[in-house]
């Protein structure tokens, strides 16, 4: 997948990749020549992921990809699915490590090469390129953190991974004199 639009679109698993509109147009133009392989896509019970799967289905169908069938439940026998992958720590290799070590997608050798290297980026880029070529994992979007917090709340903190600590929150509304 080569996203067309900016924003939260993911161009790879490393972040910081640049949009390539010409590549997107070439990929879309090539769709009619692709072999039609059936895709039985697993739809998880998580409401946000269910909605994401439906949006992907609609976008892929509009582009002419298919045949695609959405499946859910224990009887589903999918050959593809959607999952949320969260970086366990704030380093560039966190998501590729999750994909390789937990889901066994991508080369363990390339990941280990990155982990022992002083300069990880070339190793991680090769791993990212490998997963893209194989289509073993396709990045859909980077999460854009947009929390709506009342201006009357003070004291909440967010760590580098985006986890919010509300344990020391003060509400200005409740501390007003009556």
So what's the pLDDT on residue 2?
41
Mean pLDDT, rounded, for 117-143: 87
Torsion of CA 106, 104, 86, 28, to 10 degrees: 50
Which two three-digit tokens encode residue 69? 């069938």
The pLDDT confidence band at residue 4, using thresholds 50, 70 and 90, is very low
The pLDDT confidence band at residue 115, using thresholds 50, 70 and 90, is very high
**Per-residue pLDDT tens digits for 58-112:** 888 888 887 787 877 777 778 888 888 888 888 889 999 999 999 999 999 999 9
Q: Are 13 and 143 in contact (CB under 8 A)?
A: no
Q: Is the pLDDT of residue 6 over 70?
A: no
Instruction: Please identify which residue in the block is written with the tokens 């990941």.
Output: 111
């Amino acid at each position: 997948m080569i996203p067309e639009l900016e924003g939260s679109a993911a161009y790879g698993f490393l972040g910081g990749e640049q949009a390539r509109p010409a590549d997107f147009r070439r990929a879309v133009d090539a769709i009619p020549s692709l072999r039609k392989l059936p895709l039985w896509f697993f739809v998880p019970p998580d409401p946000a992921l269910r909605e994401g799967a439906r949006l992907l289905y609609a976008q892929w169908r509009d582009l002419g990809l298919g045949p695609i069938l959405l499946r859910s439940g224990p009887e589903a026998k999918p050959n593809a699915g959607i999952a949320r992958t969260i970086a366990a720590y704030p380093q560039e290799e966190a998501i590729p490590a999750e994909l390789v070590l937990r889901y066994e997608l991508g080369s363990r050798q390339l990941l280990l090469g990155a982990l022992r290297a002083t300069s990880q980026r070339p190793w991680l880029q090769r791993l990212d390129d490998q997963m893209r070529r194989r289509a073993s994992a396709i990045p859909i979007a980077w999460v854009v953190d947009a929390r709506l917090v009342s201006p009357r709340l003070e004291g909440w903190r967010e760590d580098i991974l985006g986890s919010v600590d509300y344990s020391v929150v003060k509400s200005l509304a409740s501390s007003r004199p009556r």
